[in-house]
């Protein structure tokens, strides 16, 4: 049985330095062999080039809407719309009435078509007064007397009535009547006022018996009646009935 003889003990100062911590590294402390030491890891050097950009991330959610802005100022008023009547046409009897705008929405021109009415029957005029036929009245026919306005020249409109009244407040002239038509007749009742002594002259259109104008009764409140008949547009025959009591 062979027996090994131990060699000499080595130099403990040569080799790996004792100690060391987690994440440290062993490096040479000098150019000498086996001269080492534990040091912390320290990386240094020039940074490398920037790597390419990664893909874009997903869009984020939309933010909430902002508040509405204030209203703007009102605009100027537009031109006023107009409406005018265009044509009016008679349509056939029994058709519908129509209105057509030949203008625009702001300047309308309305054209009307109005249907003709259905012809009616001729009414019977029996028992009614007619202008173009001779008639017999079975009851009294009358018209209200119209009061003439007192003035320096008294105006008479014969289209208003047949019979008139006049109260004199001074000396007057009876003017030529207007609207005189041959065949019209009637009376003018002339009354003195409470003073009396009022006179009445006549326009030349009035013609009297003998060509002499009559004189009124001048007593206060006296009543005279002038009867007249229109012969033409320039001649009225008249006669005064004096002092009617």
Tokens in use for 125? 């005029």
Assign domain 149-241 to a CATH class: mainly beta
Least-confidence region, from 32-46, 47-61, 73-87, 228-242: 32-46
Q: Which residue has the higher pLDDT, 170 or 66?
A: 170
Which pLDDT tens digit goes with each residue over 178-228?
A: 999 999 999 999 999 999 999 999 999 999 999 999 999 999 999 999 999
Q: How much is the pTM? A: 0.51
Predicted confidence (pLDDT) at residue 48 exceeds the cutoff of 60: yes
- pLDDT score for 193: 98
Tokens in use for 89? 């046409």
Sequence ranges of the domains in the chain: 15-41, 149-241
């Amino acid at each position: 049985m062979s027996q090994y003889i131990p060699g000499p003990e080595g130099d403990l100062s040569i080799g790996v330095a004792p100690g060391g911590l987690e994440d440290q590294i062993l490096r040479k402390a000098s150019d000498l062999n086996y001269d080492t030491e534990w040091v912390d890891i320290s990386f240094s050097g020039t940074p490398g080039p920037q790597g390419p950009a990664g893909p874009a991330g997903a869009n984020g959610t939309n933010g909430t809407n902002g508040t509405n802005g204030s209203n703007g100022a009102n605009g100027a008023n537009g031109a006023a719309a107009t409406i005018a009547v265009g044509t009016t046409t008679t349509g056939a009897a029994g058709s519908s009435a129509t209105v057509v705008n030949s203008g625009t929405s702001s300047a309308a021109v309305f054209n009307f078509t109005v249907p003709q009415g259905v012809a009616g029957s001729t009414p019977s005029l029996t028992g009614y007064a007619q202008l173009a036929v001779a008639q017999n009245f079975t009851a009294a026919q009358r018209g209200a007397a119209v009061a003439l306005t007192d003035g320096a020249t008294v105006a008479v409109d014969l289209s208003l009535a047949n019979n008139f009244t006049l109260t004199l407040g001074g000396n007057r002239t009876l003017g030529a009547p207007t609207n005189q038509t041959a065949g019209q007749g009637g009376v003018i009742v002339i009354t003195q006022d409470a003073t009396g002594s009022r006179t009445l002259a006549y326009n030349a259109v009035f013609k009297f018996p003998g060509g002499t104008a009559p004189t009124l009764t001048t007593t206060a409140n006296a009543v005279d009646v002038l009867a007249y008949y229109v012969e033409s547009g320039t001649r009225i025959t008249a006669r005064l009935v004096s002092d009617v009591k």
